[in-house]
Amino acid sequence: MESRIDRIKKQLHSQSYKLTPQREATVRVLLENEEDHLSAEDVYLLVKEKAPEIGLATVYRTLELLTELKVVDKINFGDGVSRYDLRTEGADHFHHHLVCIECGAVDEIQEDLLGDVEKVVEEGWNFKIKDHRLTFHGICHRCHSDDGNEDKGSGE
Amino acid sequence: MESRIDRIKKQLHSQSYKLTPQREATVRVLLENEEDHLSAEDVYLLVKEKAPEIGLATVYRTLELLTELKVVDKINFGDGVSRYDLRTEGADHFHHHLVCIECGAVDEIQEDLLGDVEKVVEEGWNFKIKDHRLTFHGICHRCHSDDGNEDKGSGE
DNA sequence: TAGAATAGGATAATGATTCTTTTTTAATAA
DNA sequence: TTATTAAAAAAGAATCATTATCCTATTCTA
């Protein structure tokens, strides 16, 4: 964890940005909530617990900076807020998401499932892919508690 | 074209909605600009040309209604505005997009490239897929004017 | 035609995000 | 250490997209 902070610090320094206390607090919140997909407001509220004097605008600026540096990815599930997602270290691709339309949970798929598809697109459409966004909307494993029967959505 | 309007009209009626003049004008704008990915504001300005008295709120309401009926898809490329995209008739899947990071153009891929990937996800993650969003960000064919050589992105 | 319900127009309200101004902090040079 | 300068932050105003509200218009039915 400390080492990740250090690496992010180096990344900032290499572009002559500083890891200020506010920025560090923000990064720590992201690290501590890596599972979640926090909105700027969510991050703000969590950062406020460890650095009560921070302002919302600062959080926005920091998240924007981290997005630029590719430390986080800014994603949008269509609910009107941007969410910020720590990029897996070493991963050059954006991970995929599973959004449950029942409970709203967002799960991640770390594997890159698009290798073949990207090849087809690059060749077939003559398009040089730099990044991708793939999100599936549907019913998550918790919500259809599929224990062997096909009957989904019984009642409720 | 008329027949598509008629079918949309039937769809509305089947849920006891009416195809009012304002709604019809909105649908016509969408049909006439099927290639583009219009924002609500874009649609509003275009509809105003044929029905000057229409209000922005009505356009929003109509687009929301059409989204509910699955006549259009609401998409978001991360630029802060929602865009509305006529669903290809008969297509049960959401088409994919190619967003050029140079010129901003958005191209569509009608083919469904995710068949295999979806199978993997449904089985591997026990997730019942209802819809998907796939967008590639990169350089479009116009911007790297790749006329015949294989050498993509050498250097850069 | 009266009455009820749906839809639209105008605009206020909301909520997320960005901008602006002033203050604080950090880094450097004398 | 102290003055100088620039980057960063705080606070809140401003902006932009979207939604809600309130009232009028239209349509449908009895």
Name which of A16, A21, B49 is nearest A5 in CA terms.
A21
Question: What does the pLDDT read at residue A146?
Answer: 52
In this complex, the residue of A120, A126, A152 whose CB is nearest that of residue B146 is A126
In this prediction, residue A1 carries a pLDDT of 66
- Distance measured from the CA of protein residue B80 to the C1' of nucleotide C9, in angstroms: 26
Q: What is the spatial distance between Cα A64 and Cα A46, in angstroms, rounded to a whole number?
A: 17
Q: Does the C-beta of B76 come within 7 A of strand C?
A: no
Plot region of B155 (φ>0 → left; ψ -120 to 50 → alpha; else → beta)? left
Indicate which of B133, B142, B147 best probes the interface with A, i.e. most A CBs within 10 Å of its own CB.
B133
pLDDT of residue A150: 43
C-alpha pair distances (Å), A59 with each of A82, B80, B153 = 13, 18, 35
- In chain A, residues with a C-beta closer than 8 Å to the C-beta of B146 are 126
In B, which residues are within 8 Å of A81 by CB distance? none
> Which residues surround strand D, with CB < 7 Å?
A 17-18, 20, 22-23, 51, 53-58, 61-62, 80; B 18, 39-41, 56-57, 60, 64, 80-82
In chain B, what residues touch A152 (CB-CB under 8 Å)?
128
Per-residue pLDDT band at A135 (split at 50, 70, 90): very high
In the predicted structure, residue A92 carries a pLDDT above the cut 80? no
pTM of this structure = 0.86
Average pLDDT of the residues in A105-119: 94
Dihedral angle sign, alpha carbons of residues A115, B155, B137, A111: positive
Q: Does the pLDDT value for residue B152 go beyond 70?
A: no
Q: For residue B154, name the pLDDT band (cuts at 50, 70, 90).
A: very low
What pLDDT is recorded for position A154?
Answer: 39
pLDDT at A3: 86
Q: What is chain B's mean pLDDT, rounded?
A: 90
Burial (Cβ within 10 Å: 0-12, 13-18, ≥19) of residue A133: buried
Instruction: State the pLDDT confidence band at A156, using cuts at 50, 70 and 90.
Output: very low
Query: What pLDDT, in 10s, does the model give residues A36-74?
Result: 999 999 999 999 999 999 999 999 999 999 999 999 999
Beta bridge partners of A39: A83
CA–C1' distance A78–C16 (Å)?
A: 13
